[in-house]
Amino acid sequence: MQSRREVQQAQSRGSAIKRLRNILLVILLVLLVGWITYAVSNQPRHAAKRQATQMAEKYAHLQDPDRFYIFNRESTFYTVSGKNQQGQPILVIVPQKGGNIRVVKQNSGLTAQQVRKMTQQNRHPAEIMKVAPGVFNDKTVWEVTYRNKKGQLCYDLINFKTGKYVQEINNL
């Protein structure tokens, strides 16, 4: 026959194991919910990337796609960068709602790195959040999204070929 102390110790061990199991189940559940949320929220982006890449490969003969950008202004454009059949770096800009696909040789204008550097020198942002090519007023532009030193959101549109500022939206 077990003493009262032995019974209490056995119950204590059992409840500690149950507590540990419950904690592990909660952690697993939180991770699962987080993963599902991430997967569901990124699904439209992955679908757009897949479709834009397929169109770029078919109509612009894009090879070796390496970057994907989303540009949202008056219209939404998806851009895939890579190389053409001659091995030259290109940007293929695909309108979301259909229309003409625009193919731009990267060496005919500014690169994303040049635009970042230009923004750092001219705007002195606290953080550059995004640089994406797109089309605005039928011109190829770079959209730069950044936070200024005050933490306010700012957008610049920079002409792809000339580097001139097309539009500036500050302090949102």
pLDDT given for residue 171 in this prediction: 76
Residue 10 or residue 101, greater confidence: 101
- C-alpha separations of 139 from 11, 27, 109, 111, 158 in Å: 74, 50, 12, 16, 10
Q: What is the pLDDT of residues 123-158, one digit of tens each?
A: 999 999 999 999 999 999 999 999 999 999 999 999
Q: What is the pLDDT of residues 14-65, one digit of tens each?
A: 677 788 888 888 888 888 877 777 766 667 778 889 998 998 899 889 998 9
Residues 6+ apart with CB under 8 A from 95: 75, 76, 77, 101, 135
Residue 4 or residue 156, greater confidence: 156
Burial of 142 by CB count in 10 Å (0-12 exposed, 13-18 middle, 19+ buried)? buried
pLDDT given for residue 8 in this prediction: 62
In the chain the domains, ranked by start, together with CATH numbers, are 112-169 (3.10.450.40)
pLDDT given for residue 163 in this prediction: 94
Whether the per-residue pLDDT at 1 is higher than 60: the answer is no
pLDDT given for residue 67 in this prediction: 92
